[in-house]
Amino acid sequence: MRTSMWPWFCAWFLVGALASLALLTVLTVGVFLLPIALVAAVFLATRRGRRAGLAGLVSGFGVPLLYVAFLNRGGPGNVCTTTATGQSCVDEYSPWGWLAAGVVFLIAGIVLGMVLQRRTPLR
């Protein structure tokens, strides 16, 4: 990607990550994060040159999915942790679906950005 596209890509990437995190946590803090993501998206959408890094939105959407995969890396099933003071057990999901979805979004955004860059003439 051209150097002028990276700031836009990163800005849209952050908005995508925030929106995805808001959707994943909608029953807790997501209710408060979603308006912030929407305001940021509107702010970026009203700027000149906004389309340059719009593909970052797709890539950013995959980051919270990768984090969920990381949190469930011991799963699927009941995972117990023993410490000096006791034991705690947590039921974890399979990380493979989350990992696959996160990687697909991350790579799709990068590829889309490269395709759009080739179609956009130099200014």
Spans of all domains in the chain: 3-119
- Please state the rounded mean pLDDT for residues 65-87: 87
- As a whole number of angstroms, the distance between CA 53 and CA 84 comes to 49
What pLDDT band is residue 78 in, cutting at 50, 70 and 90?
A: confident
CA angle (11, 1, 39) in 5-degree steps: 15
Q: Using a pLDDT cut of 70, give the percent of the chain over it.
A: 93
Alpha helices in the chain (DSSP H): 6-24, 30-45, 56-71, 95-119
- Please state the rounded mean pLDDT for residues 9-37: 91
- Please state the rounded mean pLDDT for residues 82-93: 87
Mean pLDDT of the chain: 86
Show the tokens assigned to 23.
């959707």
pLDDT tens-digit map of 33-75: 999 999 999 998 888 877 778 888 999 999 999 999 998 888 7
The least confident of 5-9, 17-21, 54-58, 66-70 is 5-9
